[in-house]
Chain A
Amino acid sequence: MAVLLKAQDLTTNFYTYEGAVKALDKFSLSIDHGCTFGLVGESGCGKSVTVRSMLRVIQSPGVIEGGKVLFSEKADAEPVDLLALTEEEMESVRGDSISMIFQEPNAALNPVITIGDQVAESFLFHRVAEMSQKICDAIDSGESYGLLTPYYRAMLGVAAKNPKAPLLKFCSQVPFLKWWDKPVKKEALQRAIKIIGKLGIANPEEIVTRYPHNLSGGMKQRIVIAIALACHPTLLIADEATSNLDVTVQAQILQLLNDLKKESISSILLITHDLGVVAETCEKVGVMYAGTLCETGDVKDVFSTPLHPYTQALLTSVPKFNQEGELQSIEGSVPNLVNPPSGCRFHPRCPKAMDKCSTDKPELKELIPGHLVACHHADRVIGGLS
């Protein structure tokens, strides 16, 4: 399978009063086309910083220090480095080829704009040219948009070629003339209704006229997903998209994501701290600890035969259906990333730590085909075997 997104040696620091927080330290990750990748870890381990760095939406005082994020939208295309793009080019990537669902639907939706306009905005931002072309074709083939049809035809003809043409910008400032984009807005709203309907919401025509506070939590999350899916992204990033939802609503959303994967989106990057969600929805998983990736591979391999001591400990520390005996816990707590531990960042809490662990940082190595681990101990055990 071809690689869709590949992060290499991504390093991000946050400069705070107490010193530089080394949130990501030479972080590498690769996601294939058509794969659902789960990124798990505890809070503060840098899961969200990872995606924010990849999409370049890190907030001050965070700074991306180095690395590459290679993104190839088509399987055979030459990858582009997202970190080297201009801000304007990046804007056309965000929300178009890569889009994101946030944890808190209340924060992601604007409370004073109707649902329909919020979903339509995504089309108006990324798809003006295409929609204008479609309307032009419709007008050419005899469809009427009222008295102003010739004016619409002329303006949309320009928009179809270049939606950012100076003429359009000028007209948008002039009374009456600024209505040139009415058919486009109408078309965008139609598309919004269509996509909301597709997400299993009953009578979408009515929903689009409502405001976010009229909807329940699960509905809002669906609308957020609709916005994310509007432009058929190649990669959908779900940042704790189900964490704040109730079990029954979470079940609805997870099923929705599963259905979507079968139909439309190429890949999903699912960020969560819930191992159960990952086990059920993902094919591949990456386990993060304190800004580093410690283990990655197929979900089945990683969860059934975890190689990194952290993954092992994490798996034994969550209660299970057929839990027997006492839960094992990881001693100590997540380190402060202003002064991260030397060498392997897990070594102060690791039951299998060796001398080497406190001095050398382990590399991510493919010990078993398709299963990468960054651990000196696993290295020795498996390496010794083969």
Chain B
Amino acid sequence: MHISNRIRELRARFQWTQQDLASKVGVTRQTIAALEKGNYIPSLLLAMNICLEFQMTVEEVFQLNGEDQQ
């Protein structure tokens, strides 16, 4: 089971660079890059901050994938 996200797609839609989003949510650009690649699962706080910037719900940005998914 893993968590995927639409950050890259949404960022492109908003025409934000990785650095733009990183500055808005208070992390480094490398963290945004790691999130987009799926190498890092964010904390609930960071995930909600990202959703807040995109003005979307958590479910719209992050999806739980895997065998045990309900």
Co-assembled chains A and B: no
